[in-house]
Structure 1
Amino acid sequence: MASVSIVDLLSSSPDFTLLVRVLQRTGLIPVLNMARNVTFFAPSDEVLKKLPTDSDISTLLQYLIITDPIVSSNMTEEEAVYFSYLRAPVAPDVPLPLKVQRLLSSDQVTADDAGIQLVIGSGAAKVVRHDWVADNGIIQVVDAMVPIPGTLCEAVAGSANKGDIRLFSQLFGKHPMICFLLRYAQDTATLLVPVDSAFDVLNDVELSYLMVNAGHDDRLRFLGSHFLYSSVYRQNDTLGLGTNVPSMSGAMVNIKKSEHGIIFNGQVDTIESDVVFQNGVIHTLPSFLTPWSYFEFSPRKYLYGLNATRFTDELLFHKYESVLDDTNRVQTIFAPVDGEGADMPVSAKTLEYHFTDVLIDSLDDSMVLPTRLSLPSLRGRHQHVLLTVDENGEFWIGGKSKVLRAPLLIGNTAIIPIDRALDLPPSLHYAAGSIFDARTTLQIFESLGLFDDDIVTGSTIFFPDDSAWEKLGSVAKFILGSSEVVKKLLCNLIFTEPVYSSDFSSANSSEYETAAGTRVSIKTDDSKTWIEFNMGNVETVAPLGSIDILYDGGVVHTISSIPIPESINITPRQLLDAEHITSFVELLESVSLAEDVIADHSQYIILAPTNSALAVSNVTTTTVDLATQMGLHILSRRSTPSGSFLSGPSVYDTLVSDVHVSILSELSDNMYELRIVKHPRIESNQPIRVLSSGVSTSGAEIYVIDRVLPVSALTAIDDPRWWQAHGVLVGLGASGGILGMVLIGLFWLLIIYRGGKNWRHRQTLGGKDKSFVRFRRSFSGSGQSIIINANGSDEEDDDDDDAIGEDTPFLGRAASGRLGSRVNVEEFGDVDEDAEEVELPSRSNEHSSV
């Protein structure tokens, strides 16, 4: 029988007329006729018509001629790589590979293809007619042309911004030398490419390090460990039992065929195998071929990964390699990242200020930390750095450098990136100048030259704010009036060593030496809102304001109360002198009270009117009751009250007998209502304004007031109106008086009525001009009748048994009745009440009779 070639079969079908002409024109007819056991993936005329006019048809057709026969029903692998008649320009000694995949098809083209579908070129073309057998080979009809694959470098570079191998591609693109070597070696290679998810084992800083220039060596080692010299395909005969292939980094890679791909180093199986290119093949991996520890990350690498390049280079210039490469050293590095115009430390001294030997693994609250920087201004001690948090929850170091992210841990080292280099603490003058609410203390330091004094070197200064001086009142005026006293006070608030808030203890007090040579113990609460000073027998609790204000020679803490040391003795007279209270003192001396009241040991409460107040009230040494006037202003404690005199409501005795006072209420700022009481009588309230106050060392309280307490208040207390003294009785008496007036009115109405009637009766009987009667008054229950016995007779009416009262002289006129009988009477006027017999005078036109 005559031989039937591949060209004969193509010529016999009208679907390949154009293809045969193209084969003739490109000189491929002899190639196909001479070929043996080849496979031609033949495009139909319809496919050729769709090609661009500038297509290199000859090259495309050569790529579809495979040097091995491929029969779909005989393919034992799901995919395989075959070599074409085409040679790649970059590797002319190696035929260009073509990948063929066998898929199960649900769309059977022919009845005898057993549901098998072939695709070639990683799915670029599909076989639509299978296994057209010629004597010298196999024809597989395809529905598209297969593009010529690019190079490995082109493939990887093209994936740098897309696809699932983007990160590896970015790393690969930073080493063009690899592509240069491939191009000029004219050989093939294998790239093992981890997909992007494989990089999840690295944090963003570690990945960043691999991307920056400083990561060049590690990056090249990483790429080299994934780069194999020679092409490794899954169907290689040597892979069945496994083989070792050298990588570019020099390490041997163990390769073995798996069920669906290739296993590298016994652990990493491929996601996709045999992605072919002109000069090699790519296998994608789900993880690194080397473990994470392969990179040997260190603090130095982390600093580069954080883009703290200039800072790190400076450290290396000053020989800090051992510090930067030791992952076991416990430390925290404050790392300023590169930024446009950012200041960088330039000296080893400044660099050390960016290190602390404390591991800060999280940022929760403000803290003050010792750095590695030791300074002569601190007497060789380590300078500290202050880490604070603002109202927005952002952290700052030194008040100027912003923390950019949470601490990063590498071994026992923590790295805190900041937006700028740390500034060393300024001089005390500049540091204290930032305390806007302590101008008084600033002025004192300035005037006494303490800013430049050696006592502030290596020290702790408790800086009273303005409110602390205001609380002292008169004491502050006394202290500030003497440079010697105020310096002594401040020296007791300066410790000879730095004491930071981290040194404060809430459980136990700590003792320190002061610049004055005394010993002071302090302790505070856990929240560090107050601090307790114990200066010998003097204990003061002072609210803390701003703490840990660092300066080049120590630290400043502001306080809102001033502890007065034992060495400063403050007497009542000194407080009065500080307030220029001279007139009041002179008056106390004139009444011999000064020696006791304003003595050094005095514990009185002194209400001291100003000089002008005494002048307005005209109180002088000649004033009547001056001793009483002065005594009213001097108070003594009945017991030890809680709080000061103004806090009330304790009662205090004055030097005036039985007179005591208390604060009734606070009317407004510094204005109080004072209650003056003399037991057991009424009270008198007096408003006073307290202009200033102070407490002496002995406990005497001095209050400068704007007015004189009037003696008239005491007068009103000594001579009360009788109705004031007997208020209840007056009320009862008034009610009884009204009732009595009503009864008297009724009584007189009765007399008038009975008197007229009896007078007419007497006129009928006749009468005498006058009579003398002896009488005994005995009021009946009604109080309106008496018994009359005439002519000295002692006869008594038998009906008088119910009479009450005693024998009482009484002058009255009988209106009617008989001797010894009860009669009604009228008052005649004033007579001798002791007389038993009286003459009843006659009245004009009337006669008296009995």
Structure 2
Amino acid sequence: MLFTSLALLASLNFSLAAQVILSSSNASITSSTIIDALSNDSDYHSLLQLIQRARLVPVLNRLNGSTLFAPTNDAIEHHSLWKSVLMDSNELLYENVQEQLRQQLFYHLLNETIPPETLHYPHSYSDSPSNEPPPHPPWMPIPNGTLGQEPQRLRLGKRKDDGYVGVDAFCNGGAKVVKGQVDAGNGVVLGIAEVLEPPPDLATVLSQHPSLSFFRKVLTPEIKKVLNSTSELTLFLPVDEAWDALDHYERIYLESKYATEDLLRIVNMHAVVQNGVKWADSFEPAINLTTIDGTKLEIVVQPERTTVSTADLIQPDIYASNGVLHLISSLLIPDDALQITPEKYLLALNCSNFVSLIHDTELTYLINDTSSISTILAPSDDVLSILADGELPKPGSEEMKKLLQYHFIPGNLNLKKLHTGMLIETALEEPGLGGNPQVMRVEVDETQQEEAWKWVRFGGAKVLREPVKVNNTQIYFISRPIPPPSDALETVLPMLDYSMFIAAVLSTSIGDKIRNAASTSLLIPVNSAFDRLGLLVSEYLLASSSKTDLENVLLHHVLSSVRYSETLANGTQRTFASAEGSDLSVSREKNGTVFVSASGGWDGMKSQLHTRNILTQTGVVHELSDVLIPRSVDLTVGKLMKAARGSTMVSLVTKAGLDWVLNGTAPPEDSQWAEQGFGKAGWVLLCPHDNAFGQYNLTELYADNQKLVSIVSQHLIPLPAQHNELIVTPLHDDPLYNNRPLLLDDSVTYSTLQSASSVHGDLVFKQSDDAKGGYIVGIKGARGTDKQTDWANVISWGRTTTTGGGGVIRIDRLMMPYYPSWWSEYGLPIVVGVLGIFAIGGFFYGVRLIWRIDTTEATYEPASTDDDD
């Protein structure tokens, strides 16, 4: 019906003019030419002047069979351009171009054709018209321009009993015919109430149409330029409702400033540029057209409707200076034609700076693959704009590349899949992990049900707004860029609980090894672990002369593989190789507690494992409660004495012939110690620090070997075979608190090497709040001396790792063997014995006196009577 009405309107060309003449009170007057007809009517005085200004009098005189729609004086008075030309007092003798006026006048002249065609052939002018007159008068229309060989069309229509010219396909708009027909010898003149405006370019036409508001919103200068510069363009443009079929985020993208390329592709799928403009009357009964993009349009005209491929034709033939616009009901693009990539979504969602950084580092493959399923952690432009200079790596650098890769996660990670503590693999493949993906920790407050995205953190960065799911891509908007994990030492350096371990590492030559060793898990003891190790052991390991042993201890805390929490706490593997060369074993208690046992150290040495999943460039960091000692580190009595600053005591032990105690070896086979069965015994040596010997003449001590042996023997405690089961005191029932060489309890007594030759060789320990180590030790049974050499304060201790166990207890003074005086040993017992004899004699003498008194006094018996009987 649309095309039927169109044909009907077109056929009204001259018949409509005749109807107007017959119904008009103004009878037509025959003139020899159109110019004569205009001259004879005062309503056309202004029009005649404009024709003269445009130098078109010869043209109108030469035409034959044309129709002129002549604007009246009143119509020209209301037209800005035509009125301004009339008001110009200059004769314009040398400026005869008046191109715009001339083309508008041609638009008012019709040929005798159906559909009606004007004498206006639109042109595109790249340069301003010159001031020179056209070269060949009379200046007839040039039949070539932006509509090809065809002139611009003009649609006629009738509303009620009035005729209109310049209407649209629905007979709306246009200029009313207000003066009847005047026949001239070479044509016809009809008066109209308004000046007819020639159609503008396509970009202007569509920007003025009310059904194309969405396209106007997305129209970019680049597309506008294409629409204006393309000649013979037939454009099938979807109305606003058609764009609603797109996904919400596709529309957001198309509305962004980054969608020009895709919008131009959409336009090209709806645009046809062939030989000649495709007006609606060329569609019958069917026609196939090829778009600029190469897609095919099949147009079929039916009585009830016209279809353009899958769309309905809503409004045809909206004229433009360089083509024609047809409005259709839906988009003419294949389902997979739009190809909106993650990059385009990111641009539309205010992440353009993030995208720019990706382009600078040549990582566009991460955001241009529409088939890949991925999750993107994207900082918006607002987030990146507040970062100070230097907070991000240099654009295009390798560090920036790693940072960006760390924000891409393979797979669709929606909110339902997230839980606290989970580790997700990223697109960052770290050489330090053997080329495996680096992971990221997720934190979720699972108690929150509403707006769960508010309670999610990726690598410590908070999710700022609801995530977006577009095609195969999930996008989370985060509060800050997430730097990938750095090397192990740099990662843990700010953590104060690990400062002693870090200081120990930095004091050795293995810092770079721990920092750069690929695929490792670092088990770091907390600072208190060094105290729990025993002060003498800590002092020994941290001494500058013990670097080799310290390095072995530190490397024993480095697993030669990456083991995250799940593997260590719940995995089936129980033994893991360390960088030191020996293994660590992992055990899990029924209550879920996880312990790590060393390859060496003393019996029962283990540490509680707290899995932390602190990520590093080369693996992961976990926390230990205690330091672990490998079997490659041999802690002897001699080493601990050195840490106790007991070099003088070392000399005494050596000169006494007991140096094998220092090395943790058995005594010589032919020695008295071997004969006494000390071959497999462990030893605990009470070691006075060097300052304790200031009051002694060491030369004199060294000269008296028997006394020297006695002194050393008084400080040596041989350990029983079962001593390892007794080292945990009731006061410290923590199974990890096993750093003591002896069970220390209040009033506990131990025999020394001196006990075999002296009744006063045993030592007894007592608790004391005044002593630094919490205990004092003294010779059992000693009566005390003025010099107080039979007891000492316990300062610290350390445990050896040698066969049989043992260790060193540092004390604050030398304890000399106790030899009581003659009076203390013999006199006092004699006095006590004599006094005892006298006491016994006196007792029996008193008993005898009482007995004698009892037997010399008279005694009476009562007389017996019958009553008593």
TM bucket normalised to smaller: 0.5 to 0.7
Partner of 1:276: 319
CA distance in 2, matches of 1:707, 1:283: 109
**Residue 403 (structure 2) pairs with residue 343 (structure 1):** no
What is the Cα deviation at residue 405 of structure 1? 11
Aligned CA distance change for structure 1 residues 475 and 4 (closer, same or farther; 3 Å): closer
CA distance in 1, matches of 2:367, 2:246: 25
Paired AA for residue 538 in structure 2 = A
CA distance in 2, matches of 1:407, 1:579: 65
Q: Indicate conservation of the 8 Å contact 1:504/1:524, yes or no.
A: no
SS in 2 for 1:149: coil
Paired AA for residue 615 in structure 2 = D
1:644-696 CA distances to partner (integer Å, 9 max, x unpaired)? 599xxx99663399x999999x99x999899xxxxxxxxxxxxx999756666
Equivalent in 229, 236, 252 of residue 296 of structure 2: 252
Partner of 2:122: 88
Aligned CA distance change for structure 1 residues 96 and 19 (closer, same or farther; 3 Å): farther
Which runs of structure 2 are paired with 1:326-725 in the superposition (5 Å)? 343-345=394-396, 354=405, 359-362=410-413, 367=423, 369=425, 375=431, 381-382=434-435, 384-385=437-438, 387=440, 438-452=498-512, 457-458=517-518, 460=520, 462=522, 464=524, 467=527, 468-472=529-533, 473-481=535-543, 482-499=546-563, 504-522=568-586, 532-533=596-597, 535=599, 538-544=605-611, 547-551=614-618, 557=622, 559-565=624-630, 568=633, 578-579=643-644, 641=730, 642-643=733-734, 654-655=748-749
Paired AA for residue 276 in structure 1 = Y
Paired AA for residue 582 in structure 2 = T
Partner of 2:237: 192
**Aligned-pair Cα RMSD in Å:** 7.6
Partner of 1:173: 222
1:368-393 CA distances to partner (integer Å, 9 max, x unpaired)? 74767575x77xx2165354679998
Q: Indicate conservation of the 8 Å contact 1:126/1:144, yes or no.
A: no
What is the Cα deviation at residue 512 of structure 1? 2.1
Partner of 1:751: none
Paired AA for residue 299 in structure 2 = I
1:584-643 CA distances to partner (integer Å, 9 max, x unpaired)? 99999xxxxxx99xx999999999999999999xxxx9xxxxx99999xxx996997532
**Residue 247 (structure 2) pairs with residue 201 (structure 1):** yes
1:28-87 CA distances to partner (integer Å, 9 max, x unpaired)? 99989x9989796x87765544333227888667656777999xxxxxxxxxx9655644
Aligned CA distance change for structure 1 residues 36 and 654 (closer, same or farther; 3 Å): same
Aligned CA distance change for structure 1 residues 5 and 151 (closer, same or farther; 3 Å): same
Q: Indicate conservation of the 8 Å contact 1:511/1:519, yes or no.
A: yes
Instruction: Point out the structure with max Rg over C-alpha.
Output: 1
Aligned CA distance change for structure 1 residues 456 and 129 (closer, same or farther; 3 Å): closer
CA distance in 2, matches of 1:673, 1:283: 102
What is the Cα deviation at residue 704 of structure 1? 7.7
**Residue 77 (structure 2) pairs with residue 21 (structure 1):** no
Identity %: 16
Aligned CA distance change for structure 1 residues 575 and 82 (closer, same or farther; 3 Å): farther
How many residues get paired?
Answer: 651
Equivalent in 252, 268, 273 of residue 224 of structure 1: 268
What is the Cα deviation at residue 460 of structure 1? 2.0
Partner of 1:151: 201
What is the Cα deviation at residue 165 of structure 1? 1.0
Q: Indicate conservation of the 8 Å contact 1:501/1:547, yes or no.
A: no
CA distance in 2, matches of 1:192, 1:205: 16
What is the Cα deviation at residue 245 of structure 1? 1.8
What is the Cα deviation at residue 292 of structure 1? 3.9
CA distance in 1, matches of 2:806, 2:192: 114
What is the Cα deviation at residue 95 of structure 1? 3.6
Q: Indicate conservation of the 8 Å contact 1:445/1:451, yes or no.
A: yes
SS in 1 for 2:152: strand
1:339-379 CA distances to partner (integer Å, 9 max, x unpaired)? 9997355789978994899614338577474767575x77x
What is the Cα deviation at residue 277 of structure 1? 1.4
1:755-784 CA distances to partner (integer Å, 9 max, x unpaired)? xxxxxxxxxxxxxxxxxxxxxxxxxxxxxx
Aligned CA distance change for structure 1 residues 705 and 328 (closer, same or farther; 3 Å): farther
Aligned CA distance change for structure 1 residues 466 and 651 (closer, same or farther; 3 Å): closer
Paired AA for residue 450 in structure 1 = I
Q: Indicate conservation of the 8 Å contact 2:111/2:118, yes or no.
A: yes
Aligned CA distance change for structure 1 residues 88 and 139 (closer, same or farther; 3 Å): same
SS in 2 for 1:245: strand
CA distance in 2, matches of 1:288, 1:176: 22
Partner of 1:51: 79
Aligned CA distance change for structure 1 residues 250 and 542 (closer, same or farther; 3 Å): closer
Q: Indicate conservation of the 8 Å contact 1:66/1:84, yes or no.
A: yes
Aligned CA distance change for structure 1 residues 8 and 330 (closer, same or farther; 3 Å): closer
SS in 1 for 2:410: coil
Aligned CA distance change for structure 1 residues 261 and 168 (closer, same or farther; 3 Å): farther
TM value normalised by structure 1: 0.53
Aligned CA distance change for structure 1 residues 517 and 200 (closer, same or farther; 3 Å): same
**Residue 332 (structure 2) pairs with residue 289 (structure 1):** yes
Partner of 2:789: none
Q: Indicate conservation of the 8 Å contact 1:124/1:144, yes or no.
A: no
Aligned CA distance change for structure 1 residues 190 and 209 (closer, same or farther; 3 Å): closer
CA distance in 2, matches of 1:233, 1:198: 28
If asked which structure has higher relative contact order (CA below 8 Å, sep 6+), I would say: 2
Q: Indicate conservation of the 8 Å contact 1:210/1:219, yes or no.
A: no
CA distance in 2, matches of 1:134, 1:159: 33
Choose 510-519 or 54-63, whichever is displaced more: 54-63
CA distance in 2, matches of 1:368, 1:167: 41
CA distance in 1, matches of 2:229, 2:593: 68
* More strand, by proportion: 1
1:476-509 CA distances to partner (integer Å, 9 max, x unpaired)? 2243343343233223222334445575452434
Aligned CA distance change for structure 1 residues 39 and 255 (closer, same or farther; 3 Å): farther
Q: Indicate conservation of the 8 Å contact 1:463/1:558, yes or no.
A: yes
Paired AA for residue 214 in structure 2 = D
SS in 2 for 1:517: coil
CA distance in 2, matches of 1:456, 1:4: 98
Q: Indicate conservation of the 8 Å contact 2:524/2:621, yes or no.
A: no
CA distance in 1, matches of 2:567, 2:156: 75
Partner of 1:164: 214
Paired AA for residue 541 in structure 1 = Q
Q: Indicate conservation of the 8 Å contact 1:225/1:289, yes or no.
A: yes
Q: Indicate conservation of the 8 Å contact 1:522/1:533, yes or no.
A: yes
What is the Cα deviation at residue 209 of structure 1? 12
What is the Cα deviation at residue 252 of structure 1? 1.9
What is the Cα deviation at residue 442 of structure 1? 3.7
Which runs of structure 2 are paired with 1:762-781 in the superposition (5 Å)? none
